[in-house]
Amino acid sequence: MWRWGCEVQEQRTFCRICSAACALVVTTDGERVVSVRGDVDDATSRGYACSKGRSVGALHHHPRRLDGASLRDAGGTLTPVGWDECLDDLAERIAGVQAAHGRDAVGVYMATASTFDSLGARYGARFAQGLATRNRYSAVTLDSPSKPLVAELMAGRGDLLPAVDLERATLSIFIGVNPVVSHGHFNAFPDPVTRIRHLASEGREVWVIDPRSTETAQLATWHLQPRPGTDWVLLAHLVREILSDGAEHGYLDGKASGLDELRRAVAPVDRAMVVDRTGLAEAEIDGLLAALRRHERVAAQTGTGVSMGVAANVAEWLTWALQIAKKSYDQPGGMWFNPGFVTCHDRRKVTPGPAVADLGTPAPSRPDLPARMGEFPSAALVDQIEEGEVRALIVFGGNPLSSFPEPERLAAALGSLEVLAVLDVIETETVELASHALGCTDPLERADVPLLLDQFLPEVGSRYTPAVVAPSAGHRHAWQIFHDLGARLDIEVLPADVDPATVTEDELLARLTARARRPFEELREKRLVVDEPSTFGWVEASLPDGRWRLAPPDLVAQLEGLLERAPDPGLLLIPRRQPRHMNSLLRDAGASDRRDRPEVLVHPLDAAELGLGDGQPVAVRSGHGHLHGVSRLDDGLRRGAVSVPHGWPGDAHVGRLICGAECDPLTGMVRSSGVPVTLEPLDA
């Protein structure tokens, strides 16, 4: 609404920082963003907006905004130039690299922020397809490739994303996930505090399994704190015991295969083993088992505390197996699968996937890392650059230097490239090395629907937003950049019948949503359309051979290997997300006294043994490298765990502790949790 006598305006939009897509009201004064708050009239987020969402104005006005295009000159300085000059040069260099070294010599990395730009992601993918390069990467392989792998092996397709039935679940278990801060992991969890309190009310139970007393654990009815990286042992025992007493055997007989193989796989994991490996008390283990038997259904979800560990695939598999044994997948009161509003309208017709991992041809420099889902694991990139397999790289919406392992090695590799083109909103550590920096519009400057987040949402529905403010200072939409670059390389990015000079964002969004459950015009008018709430039965009806696969051979083999592997001694690293930034984004936005800090959490008793005080500079060392941080004593942390947050550069970069060579053979996921570390005090 306009306010009389001034240019102040309030506009509705939705957040594009994380998958929750919460509704926002943005107050602007001309082109200046004055304030951002949650939209109390929104039926899904109900007025909730976290600190990240409320910071989109600070992102819009960030002092390090990338304005226009820049090109690194002969003296090594990144210098502003016109868009045509920059794109002409970039296209010429890309064509030259592919002509001299083959099409695969150009790589494309589509990172987290690209996921929240629907038109940019769609037409960026078309550009990458037109390049005809095999060397494509995404942020999925940095924290969660176990999820699509397990979904594919157990249900025939990797795009199935189980989510808690937030209205009807009576027993919810959150394993290594903290939705109060993350707002979900491969699903959306808007207004998380209210929703978790609901899940824990009126005879309902919420169990959190996490070495740290997280914000979510503090709302739970029960909290178990196992040693880092041992969730799989507890889950294997629970599966074993539920199959003995508590499973829906009639359901399993008709809807599952591999039951005998699953029984044999988990048979060695008795309670004594769980106590020994996890450090949990017998009463805690028995209490969770009793809860599983007490409730008809169970809803269990994992997060990065699981998916970043050495046992990620096994823990995710056993989480699925436990819920299938309780007839809780695709069932009210358990977990549901969003079939999608826009992108998945016809996905009830399932093409069955393989019973074992379908591994593509590996990169020559990393034969241990085969391609999956049309891309290579991100861990392969540095080797491919060093070996000359990748000589040019296009990065969209990400900052590899703050998120990849071995940042110093990666910085040297990126600096050696013939081309490093970065599409982003602000200047980052990766932009500082770029040959071409391309300043994109921020979320407030573009129209959007949550296209790639379609299956993440808490209902079968979608949102729409127009641009809140007009693009300024030479910012271009990512889809425009990809089109203009593609036109110079004879790559068709936009549909052939589209005039790029006159087409509007709404016209392109209407095309992308043409097969949606409701017309785009209705979505644009209402801003939020819910076609139906959580829905059930469609996955079960289209399983390969009509059955869940309970014991994929690849995962059974990995469990056998874990049972033979000796537990890691000493202090162990666990990951942590923080409330005010998303990966590296927003870590330096807003008032300096309200920003997150790269603090190293340590239990007070562990700190006392090491001579560490609260707020003391500390070195964290692994067998691969070290980082520097500031200690923060936390008696809510399990003894033996050390928590370091994501997204920080330089001496605080957690990737300095991670070895890029230690990867899961099925997914290429680097081991980023449960890593043995030592601590030592530093002089202030």
Q: What is the pLDDT of residues 204-215, one digit of tens each?
A: 999 999 999 999
Q: Are residues 377 and 521 in the same domain?
A: yes
Question: CATH number of the domain that 54 lies in?
Answer: 3.30.200.210
Q: Determine the pLDDT at residue 6.
A: 54
- Please check whether residue 363 lies inside any domain of the structure: no
In the block, which residue shows the tokens 């397999």? 389
- Please check whether residue 355 lies inside any domain of the structure: no
Residue 338's nearest CA partner among 430, 222, 457, 223 is 457
Residue 322's nearest CA partner among 408, 237, 418 is 237
pLDDT in tens, 336-370: 999 999 876 444 454 555 666 656 788 889 999 88
In the block, which residue shows the tokens 């987040």? 453
Q: Are residues 556 and 578 in the same domain?
A: no
- Please check whether residue 244 lies inside any domain of the structure: yes
pTM for the predicted model, two decimal places: 0.95
Model confidence at 641: pLDDT above 80: yes
Q: Determine the pLDDT at residue 103.
A: 96
Question: CATH number of the domain that 79 lies in?
Answer: 3.40.50.740
pLDDT band at 1 (very low <50, low <70, confident <90, very high): very low
Q: Are residues 404 and 485 in the same domain?
A: yes
Q: Are residues 215 and 134 in the same domain?
A: no
- Please check whether residue 362 lies inside any domain of the structure: no
The neighbouring-strand residues paired with 366 are 363
Q: Are residues 77 and 219 in the same domain?
A: no
pLDDT in tens, 495-508: 999 999 999 999 99
Model confidence at 488: pLDDT above 70: yes
- Please check whether residue 663 lies inside any domain of the structure: yes
Q: Are residues 451 and 524 in the same domain?
A: yes
Domain housing 56 = 8-60
Q: Are residues 391 and 334 in the same domain?
A: no
Could you give the strand order of the β-sheet that contains 136-138, starting from the edge strand earlier in sequence?
78-81, 69-72, 436-439, 419-424, 392-396, 106-110, 136-138
Tokens representing residue 56 in the block: 């989109």
Q: Determine the pLDDT at residue 240.
A: 98
Question: What is the domain count for the chain?
Answer: 4
Contacts of 490 (CB under 8 A, 6+ apart): none
Q: Determine the pLDDT at residue 453.
A: 86
Q: Are residues 549 and 409 in the same domain?
A: no
Question: CATH number of the domain that 668 lies in?
Answer: 2.40.40.20
Q: What percent of the chain has pLDDT over 70?
A: 96
Residue 533 has, within 13 A of its CA and on its CB side, a CA count of: 9
132 alpha carbon, distance to own chain's centre: 26
Residue 60's nearest CA partner among 38, 19, 86, 30 is 30
- Please check whether residue 269 lies inside any domain of the structure: yes
pLDDT band at 2 (very low <50, low <70, confident <90, very high): very low
Q: Please report, for residues 107, 379, 492, the alpha-carbon distance to residue 382 in angstroms, rounded to integers and kept in the order given.
A: 11, 7, 30
pLDDT band at 581 (very low <50, low <70, confident <90, very high): confident
Q: Are residues 133 and 177 in the same domain?
A: no
Q: Are residues 226 and 179 in the same domain?
A: yes
Q: Determine the pLDDT at residue 7.
A: 80
Q: Are residues 313 and 167 in the same domain?
A: yes
Q: Are residues 26 and 51 in the same domain?
A: yes
Share in percent of the chain as helix, strand, coil (round to 5): 35, 20, 45
- Please check whether residue 203 lies inside any domain of the structure: yes
- Give CA–CA dist 598/264, Å, rounded: 44
Q: Determine the pLDDT at residue 345.
A: 46
Question: CATH number of the domain that 205 lies in?
Answer: 3.40.228.10
- Please check whether residue 359 lies inside any domain of the structure: no
